[in-house]
Amino acid sequence: MTRPLLVMGFAACLFDDLKALGPLACDVMAINRAGIVADAALDHWVSLHPDQLAGFMDRRAALGKPDGFTAWAPAAGPGIACVTTDVERFGTSALYGVRIALHKLGYRRVILAGVPFDDAMPYVGGAPIPQPLIGHQRAWRLARPELAERVRSLSGWTRRLLGAPSTAWLEAVR
């Protein structure tokens, strides 16, 4: 795909990240609860937690937000259209979503918003991160060679790991 994919996580910096990115013609993937707070139409919604994803989708529908997305998870559940048992699940739902974007959907450019992976950054609404992220950061570090040329982040630890998106990077789709 030559169009980039915006992957939205649920960290409190999500809306600042989106503002900093500005308008961009892209497809959109929500991770977990990000799909509830996102006003934009979603193309994909991903979670490692199929037992929770149906509830997230119900909450989005109750808010009158657009549907029409494809839901992805590693196991079947209500509303899940694509079950992926062959995508690496070590890490986080965001990393799982990035792998789906790269390996199942063929995106060449993926931008992370609201996925800083900083322990000090709470979720949208101020809820604290329930566990230290160092183990999850290890998974991202191990995945870095797989992500290096095609994934960038707008904030935090993932931006330091992967770099920030630039116009030159977006235009250099091979």
Q: Which domains does the chain have, with CATH numbers?
A: 5-171 (3.90.1480.10)
Statement: residue 90 has pLDDT above 80: no
- Identify the sign of the CA torsion 127, 74, 2, 164: positive
Q: In percent, how much of the chain has pLDDT > 70?
A: 90
Average pLDDT value for residue range 91-120: 91
Statement: residue 137 has pLDDT above 80: yes
Distance CA 133, CA 9 (A): 14
Distance CA 134, CA 31 (A): 19
Statement: residue 81 has pLDDT above 60: yes
Which residues make Cβ contacts (< 8 Å) with residue 27, sequence separation at least 6?
1, 3, 4, 5, 6, 43, 44, 107
Query: How far is CA 82 from its chain centroid?
Result: 16
Average pLDDT value for residue range 145-170: 94
Give counts: helices (H), strands (E), the chain. Answer: 7, 7
Which residues make Cβ contacts (< 8 Å) with residue 174, sequence separation at least 6?
108
Looking at residue 26, its amino acid is C
The pLDDT of residue 88 is 82
Q: With CA atoms as reference, report the closest residue to 91 among 13, 164, 31, 35.
A: 31
Average pLDDT value for residue range 54-80: 95
Statement: residue 156 has pLDDT above 60: yes
Q: With CA atoms as reference, report the closest residue to 48 among 102, 97, 118, 112.
A: 97
Cα angle for residues 34, 23, 168 (degrees, 5° grid):
105
Average pLDDT value for residue range 10-34: 93
Q: What's the mean per-residue pLDDT of the chain?
A: 90
Q: What is the pTM of this model?
A: 0.92
Statement: residue 130 has pLDDT above 90: no
29 and 7 Cβ atoms separated by less than 8 Å: yes
